[in-house]
Structure 1
Amino acid sequence: MPEDISPRSEAGPDAPPRGLVVEAVARALAEDFGLAGDITSAATIAADATARGTIGARKPGTIAGLDIAREAFAQADPRIAFTALVADGERVEAGTPVAAVDGPARAVLSGERVALNFLCHLSGIATLTRRFVDAVDGTNAQIVCTRKTMPGLRALQKYAVRCGGGRNHRFGLFDAVLIKDNHVVAAGGIGKAVAAARAHAGHMVRIEVEVTSLAELDEALSAGADIIMLDNMDAATMREAVTLSAGKAITEASGRVDLDSVRAIAETGVDLISVGALTHSAPVLDLGLDFE
C-alpha cells in the first residue's frame, strides 16, 4: 500500500481530451440506465442514504482510467466525491486502495459498474503493456500499440498503453501512411505505391511500408520509405533487415508478437515492436468497490 493516501491528480501521461471522456461515459451510462434507471437501488435503498467506499486492487497491476471512473460517478450524480489515491501509470499491489468514493448511496451504486468497467479494462491494458515494456528493458526497442481497438474507445485504450509505458502507433487512417500487402497489389508494386503516397501526402507525413522478405525490403528502401514494417520475419532475417535499414529507415517488427517472443525480437535491434494484443486481448485488472 502507498504510504501517502492523500488525494492526487489522477490524469496520467497525455490524458485523452476531456470531451472524449465525457462522451464515452455518457454513452455507457445511457446503455446501463435504459429508460428506467437503476431500479434495484431505487427499490432497496432510501433516497437520503449515503455511502462511503474504497475501490481497491484485487490483483497487482498498473492503473489507468481514474479520470474516466471519476467522470462516471460525476455523471451519475455530481454530489459524489471521488478521490484518487494513486495516479494513472502507477504500479499497485493486491490490496492497494486506488480511490475513495463518498456520496448518495443510490447514485454511487448506479455509477459503480460503468466506472469499474472503464477502470478495470484500461488498467488491464496498462498492466499488459507494462509486462511487454519490462520484457524488452535494456534493448533499443519501444513497444507500440496498433489500430486493433474497440470501436469508439481507441483514444482511451491508446492512453492506457501510454500509462503502461508503451507508445502509440498511428491513431487512424488520417495521420500516417501505412502501405500494406493489399495496397501494394492494388497499386502495382511497392515503388509505385510509395511514389503515389509521397505525391499525395506531401513532405509532412511519414510513409511506412510492410515487407515480408529482404527483396521487398530492398524495394521499399529504394523507394524512400521512412519506416519499414518487418512482418512475420524470423529473427535471423529480421536482424539482417535491421542492418540493411540502418541510417535509411526506422524498423518496426510486427506479427504474432507475444511475451515469449518479444525479447528475442527486441534483440534483433528493431526500433519498434507493434503488439495488437495490448488493446484487443488484454485481460481486465481485477478492481472492486467495497462500502465501509
Structure 2
Amino acid sequence: MRNAAFRLCAVVGAVLIAATLLGASPRAQARTDQRCYTNAAGTRCYYLHVPPGSSTGRPLMVYLHGCNDPLADARPTGFSLARVADEMGFVLAYPIQDQAANKDVCWNWDKAENRERGRGEPSLIAGITTNLIDQFGLDRSRVYLGGYSAGGAMTTNLGATYPDLYAAIAPMAGAPYRTELGGQVIIDAMGARARPMPTFFLQTLFDQISNFVIGRANLAQWREADNLADPGSVPTVPTRLDVLVAGPGLPIPLTAEHYDSPRGCELAQFTTPLLAEHAIGARIVQDDVGIEVQRNLMRFLLAHRMPAPHRTC
C-alpha cells in the first residue's frame, strides 16, 4: 500500500505543478488529493479534501479511521464528511495507517510511544496537521481532530498531548487516555498547556468492541480533566438532552447529551445511537446514512476556537 501511495503522490504532485505552470488554479473547485508526510517516526500518507475557493483562513478537520483498509472500505473520495466540508467550508485531512505498522490497519493507540508528545504516530498526525496549516494558510485557532474506534482512541492521545494544536476533539468509540480512570492523567500529559478540551463523543449502545461503559468512562475522564484545568467548567450531569436522527436510510433514534459551561459554551456532547453496534456506528460517522450526525459533529467542533490557556471558552 505504501509504494502505491507514494506513486499516487508523485502523480498528483506532477498534475498540480502542470496546472500551475499553465496558469490554472488547482483549488478552483473542490478536490481530493493524496499526499505523504515523513518525520523521524516514519511516513504516513493522507487524503486531503479542499473545498472550492481559497483555502486561506479556513478551519481544518483531521479525521482518523478505525481498524479497516481505508483504501478499500472507507472510500475517502466518497467520504460523506467531505460533503460536510464543502457545506461548512473546512479543509478535511484523512491520514491513513500503514499496514506495515499494523496488519489490521489500526492506529496503535495503546503503544507507549503513541501516548506521548513528539513521538510515534502522534508526531506524524501532528506533523501532517501543522504542515497543512502552514502550506494552506489555515486558521490556527480552528483546528480539530476526530476519529472512530482505534482512531477515536488515538484522538484522545493527541487531545492530551497536543492541547495547544487542536481546539476541540471528537474521540468516538474510543478509550480513555492510557486506559485509566480519572482526569489527572490527562492534566499530567498536558503539563503547562493544560486547559479544558471541548469534546464530542459518539458511542453506540450495543457496541461489542468499545462497549458503552468504556464510552462513559471516556466522557467522565475528560469531564474531570476539564474541571481540574478550570474548576467548575463542566457540569457533572447534562444540561440539555436532544433526540436526533442519523440521516436518510437509517431510521434509528439517537440521544445527544449536552454539557454546557457556566460561561455559555458547550464543552462536551455525548451522542448515543440507541439501536446500534460498532459497525453501524462506523457507518454513522463515515457514510451518507449518518450525514446529519456528521453535520452536528462539525457544528460542535466549529463552535470552538483555540482559547487562552486555562480558559473554558
Q: Same fold (TM over 0.5)?
A: no
Q: TM-score range by the shorter chain?
A: 0.3 to 0.5
User: Which of the two has higher C-alpha Rg?
Assistant: 1
Larger RCO (CA within 8 A; separation ≥ 6): 1
With normalisation by structure 1, the TM-score equals: 0.35
With normalisation by structure 2, the TM-score equals: 0.33
